[in-house]
Amino acid sequence: MPINMTPRLVVITGPMFCGKSEELLRRLRLHGYANDSVLALKPKLDSRQGSIRSRRLGIGGSVTVEEFPAFEVGGAREFSALLRKHHPDVLAIDEAQFFDSWLFAKVNELLLQQNLGITIYVVGLDLDAWGQPFGQMGNFMARADEVLKFTAICMLCHEPAGLSCKIGGGSRNLVEVGDGDIYQARCRRCWSPPASA
């Protein structure tokens, strides 16, 4: 059990391809060195993998560089059952923008348990492809003890990029799981919403 007995929430956010998962995996490695027990979760609708992965874009698609096993969760009951079973020192939640409001409520409950001593990492896109706050990420950022907001490099002009842009092949659906085949990181000048991308 960690010495710190106050729950702590760290949010890691930014656009596609900015290193969010890479930073989460780096921090999980550090917790591993300290022998902290880690429970990693991801939404069931993200069917790309059964783990949290750091990827590098290359010719022909993305390549996995590092990964950490994660449970796929679809609802509040599964979430609570996994917490009861594993009693983690560290809870890592990837792609949090895809979860419904129940996740924010559950995390908030954990933060109010003063003797729990858990560190919670919530990782996800802060904005959707239309440039609007994505899911509960704004609420998590407001509640967080620490917020790490990363930028990527614009894939058109190479300036700092804080937005995710849908490109050819993507639909106009809000939730569309994809990679470099559907999304690009863009700066404000180069970004456009899906209707005109």
- Which residues have a catalytic role annotated? 95
Residue 92 Cα distances to 63, 95, 102, 138, angstroms: 22, 10, 16, 17
Half-sphere exposure in the Cβ direction for 41 (13 Å, CA): 27
* CA–CA separation, 120 and 111 (whole Å): 9
The H-assigned helical ranges of 7-152 are 20-33, 76-86, 101-111, 137-143
